Amino acid sequence: MKRVYPPYGYDCLYKDNCPHLNFLSTLWVFGEYERAHEVYEEHLRIIDVFRDRLDDTMKRIRLLEKENEELKAKNTALHRRQFKANKKPEHAVSLAGRKRGAPVGHPGWFRPEPARVDATVHVPAPDRCPHCGSGPLVPGEGIREHVQEDIVIRPRTVVRRYVHKEAYCSRCGRSVVKAAPDELPNAPIGPVTKSVALYLRYRIGMSYRKVEEVMREIFGLAFVPASAVGFDRAAAKRGTPLYEDLREKIRASEIVHADETSWRNDGTGHYAWYAGNADLALFHIDRHRSTDVAQHLLGDNFDGVLITDRYAAYNGVHARERQTCLAHLITRARELTRELVLMETRDTKAEAFCDAVGRLFSDACAAGGDLLKGKREWGDAPRIEKQLRATLGKICAKPLKYKPAEGLRTFLTGKDRKFLFTFLRYPGVPPTNNQAEQSIRFLVIMRKLMFGTRSATGLKTHSILPSLIITSMRQGNDPRKFLETLLVSDTMTAQAALYRNGARAP
């Protein structure tokens, strides 16, 4: 019978070199056997770690593949648009080290004396001193002549010689004169020319050189582009009080549209802001695009209905009511639909969601337009809002896998959903911010044609003058005549000329 265990006290002669183990030591072989189990367990643990890492890596790869697919679809959709990216040329030269102005030694430019005088205006001596306001003044014997060249709205210039009677101011200790009704003292170019130049610049959108060319070729009146810059500065200085008053009127308005776009000033990124309505327009160019700028325009407690896109900076205005632009949401839904169609893996639920959102807000805009035009009774507004909210709730009931679409769904169901249908609760409020988009379009075109501004003074003039010109137009006035009034009249007269029927209140 074969024994399982050796007898007690048995000592194998071959334990150090067993012939059955290739003459290896039995103790060493048994030790290796025991250690092999530990190594095997360690290998199993290593395999488990690598398997977990591999699973995580595969998940990451699938996620990146999905993101890459989304980005490719978005990039393709962007390239299919009808405009090109605004990129700075690589060969653009920086002007940081170049001193502005004419080169050293360049001869100055002086206006030639007019060859004719079309009219002579005799100006009586002033009764009161234009500097200190004291009077009566002592009549003097001296005569001071001033030749001013101006244009009429026809292809020729008119030159007027102003002959001023002098008076002596005992308080100032000097002879003084007063200006004629249409005269700009000590200015060789008259207010009509300057108002037309300002109109061509800030209403038509011409560059300074083109304005100079129009004046020279059509009216025969020559000046350098730098003179047109001087017209801007003079008009902006006189229009600053009206601009500040206009901002207060915007803050007191019941309905205000607001928007912003990019701007360039001396190669640095800025932002052009707009706030206005059907009667008023206010532009402001600022370095920042923050809540502080929105509060600078509208205040921090705007007691009206503010119509904007989804930009969060307007939250600091704390408007009484807000209306989110539905046109932006329709555009966003269509963009997502174009991206989804281009993806290799179709997400039918996300596509159906975006299509439903676009149709819902298109119907809402149509209903809002009918209410504004009087095609629907205002009493139908609560019922329309209830129907729209119920439909929106059904559309946004389930979450989506496509992250951009899910982001839109989250917004439509978030805290800002109360701003979607404000136009159905307040008469006269439109469902879109198209008014602001169209208003700021002028500065967008000017930015593309003239590449922005180059100084802080330029920022100021390009904020003040477009605001006054467009406000004058919305008030039903002739902006060119208003600019002429602004140049020759006091602040109160210019303010009366700015608003409808001479009113000074909004």
- Reported as a single tens digit per residue, the pLDDT across 482-505 is 999 999 999 999 999 999 876 544
Q: What is the pLDDT of residue 82?
A: 55
Q: What is the pLDDT of residue 63?
A: 85
Average the pLDDT over 476-482 and give the result.
94
Average the pLDDT over 97-121 and give the result.
79
CA distance 330 to 496: 42
Average the pLDDT over 145-151 and give the result.
88
Asked if pLDDT for residue 247 goes beyond 60, the answer is yes
Q: What is the pLDDT of residue 91?
A: 46
Asked if pLDDT for residue 77 goes beyond 90, the answer is no
Measured in degrees and rounded to the nearest 5, phi and psi for residue 370 equal: -65, -35
Q: Tokens 């004419």 belong to which residue?
A: 102
Task: Tell me the pairing of strands 268-276 and 281-286.
Answer: antiparallel
First to last CA, the chain: 121
| 190 closest CA partner among 162, 228, 151 | 151
* pTM score: 0.74
The DSSP-derived string for 315-378 is GGG--SEEEE-HHHHHHHHHHHHHHHHHSSS--HHHHHHHHHHHHHHHHHHHHHHHHHHTSS-G
Q: What is the pLDDT of residue 253?
A: 94
| 495 closest CA partner among 487, 483, 504 | 504
What are the residues whose beta carbons fall under 8 Å from the beta carbon of 273, sequence distance 6 or more? 258, 259, 260, 283, 284, 285, 286, 293, 294, 297
What are the structure tokens assigned to 196, written together? 């037309």
Run of H or E including 141: strand 138-151
CA distance 21 to 33: 13
CA distance 123 to 126: 9
CA distances from 412 to 191, 313, 322, 424 (A): 54, 19, 15, 17
- Side-chain half-sphere of 481: how many Cα atoms within 13 Å? 9
Task: Tell me the pairing of strands 305-308 and 255-265.
Answer: parallel
Please report which confidence band the pLDDT of residue 474 belongs to, taking 50, 70 and 90 as the band edges. very high
Q: Tokens 């002669």 belong to which residue?
A: 13
In the DSSP assignment, the letter for residue 453 is B
Average the pLDDT over 355-374 and give the result.
94
Q: What is the pLDDT of residue 87?
A: 53
